[in-house]
Amino acid sequence: MRPRVIAIFAMAAGLLIVSVPLFAHHGAASFDTTKKVTVKGTVVEWFWANPHCFLRFDVKDENGQTVQWVVETQSGPNITPLGYTKQTFKPGDEVTVTLTPVRNGRPLGRLLSVVLPNGKKLGTGGIVPGSASGSDYPQ
């Protein structure tokens, strides 16, 4: 009986050790959650996957140089009820993206909302920096 208890304890401890990185993955430490940035650009790629979807788009900076931005959002099943699909963005689409930027100043962030070429606005249901209600975007 004793070896069985030890084996069960060892398996439980092993599962806990393996699962710790999964919890750490969902932190917001790399994002400056006190800021939001809005940029207009042209879609390069919409990557629909788990655990996150990514939108890659080109933006012209103040010097006329092209800067490629990448924003992440939740997984497809989580954002489908908000109006997103695998076909929401197509290369060449002109979009206006509002995001929470990363702290190091690189052109990366977490998607808060996007205005599509047809004028439709999609949100992510996330917390918006500086909003009194917690979210200024469609849930």
Q: Domain map of the chain by residue range?
A: 37-123
Cα–Cα nearest to 69, from 82, 80, 56, 83:
56
pLDDT at residue number 39: 97
Q: Is the pLDDT of residue 123 over 90?
A: yes
pLDDT (tens digit, 9 = 90+) per residue, 37-85? 999 999 999 999 989 999 999 999 999 999 999 999 999 999 999 999 9
Average pLDDT score, the chain = 81
Confidence tier at 138 by pLDDT (50, 70, 90): very low
Q: What percentage of the chain has pLDDT greater than the value 90? A: 63
- Does domain 37-123 sit in CATH 2.40.50.1010? yes
Q: State if pTM tops 0.95.
A: no
| 120 Cβ contact list (under 8 Å, min separation 6) | 83
Q: What is d(CA 18, CA 13) in angstroms, rounded to the nearest whole number?
A: 9
Q: How far apart are CA 64 and CA 25, in angstroms?
A: 35
Beta carbons of 137 and 125 less than 8 angstroms apart: yes
